Amino acid sequence: MPGKTADERAALDAQNEIMLARFVEAGFRHIAPSILQPADLFLDRSGEDIRTRTFVFTDPAGRELCLRPDLTLPTCRYHLERAERPDAEARYCYCGPAFRYQPGGADRMHPQEFVQVGVEWFAAGDREACEADVLALAIGAVEAAGLRGYRVRLGDLALFNALIDSIPMPARWRARLKHQFWRPKAFRALMERLAGQIGETHDPAEPLLESIDGHGLERAEAVVEEVLEQEGIPLVGGRSVTEIATRLHERASDRREAPLTAAQIALVEQYLAIDGAPAEALGAMRSLGADGSEAFSLAVESLARRFALAGERGLPCADYRFSAEFGRNLEYYTGTVFQIEVKAATGWVPVAGGGRYDGLMGGIGSPVSVPAVGCAIHTERLRAAVEDGNG
């Protein structure tokens, strides 16, 4: 994209000021996080989609930096550096540039440099109420900017995690399933392996697994070191002997575990197939949870309260759509997620989105747990949508 004319910049600035003013009026403090950020934080915490689209470079001192691809993580860093206590309630809003490489080429809906307006709310007391507030703030902001033709998609990763936790299986299997939630093909393949549905194939590591099976991790490390030395194989990809041995030890242990049953697989598939209006989705989940765990039932009722609170804030939740598979493309989300989308030539495109990310602060250095929820608006895309007739 060649840039903007003065009139185009003025129109975008005016739109963004309208939305930012609403956030400030709602009690969020306007801050300006740094544009340059440590690259490893984004590459480790933001998920595959962002990793492959982040502009990364090395400064003269040899430090790996990046142009921020969004403002959530920079706001978390700002809070950790400035707040007297990380777990003290704080509300921030921002308006500033973000940068993402566009592999298909930049255009009006997919610029490489764009402005984000958003809010981040840390350590709020009432989880469902602040989530309903953030959803209402995001929708109110885009409507104040002139958006009319849009749809809202909803999801909740806490429900998926609670369901997986309710199924008897080794803890390492649960961790793998949760890790693959954002990768549908890999998730399906993993489910088939855990259910013993993949046919017997020759495994080159079978002799190693046999020698490790039934022994502790120390034995696995000794076997790996011996093989590497005998074969003259160098360590590659930054993986240590301990990491390789741990994975082999897990694979050897997996062979002695009972596979997931057909009923357990069906339960997960029934949950992931839930897709419809909130009332329909709640009914389907309550049916699933009738014989399930207390944690899953509590997560369902938490979602129901969130819908009720959103309705009290004037949002037409009956018109929204809940999808159990919807988790957006940022892997730091841990609970409710939402996306505001508009119809474009290439299909439905998000102009805003957000959700709960309770684990992110701890992942970047907070010594205490800090619950968090927020949203971000892609202002260039919003402007284009309004100009294209969605206003």
Annotated binding site: 70-72, 100, 116, 120, 328, 332-333
Give the whole-angstrom CA distance, residue 289 versus residue 309.
22
- E-state strands within the chain: 29-30, 36-38, 56-58, 64-67, 90-99, 113-122, 151-156, 275-276, 321-323, 336-344, 347-356, 372-378
Q: Are 119 and 90 in contact (CB under 8 A)?
A: no
Strand 90-99 versus strand 64-67 pairing type: unpaired
Q: Name the one residue in this structure whose structure tokens are 């490893």.
A: 40
Give the whole-angstrom CA distance, residue 90 versus residue 27.
10
Q: Are 159 and 324 in contact (CB under 8 A)?
A: yes
What are residue 135's phi and psi, to 5 degrees?
-60, -45
Known binding-site residue numbers for L-histidine:
70-72, 100, 116, 120, 328, 332-333
Length of the chain: 391
Which token pair is 122? Answer: 């840390």
Residue 322 makes CB contacts below 8 A (sequence gap 6+) with 153, 154, 155, 156, 274, 275, 276, 277, 278, 281
- E-state strands within 61-160: 64-67, 90-99, 113-122, 151-156
Q: Give 2's DSSP letter.
A: -
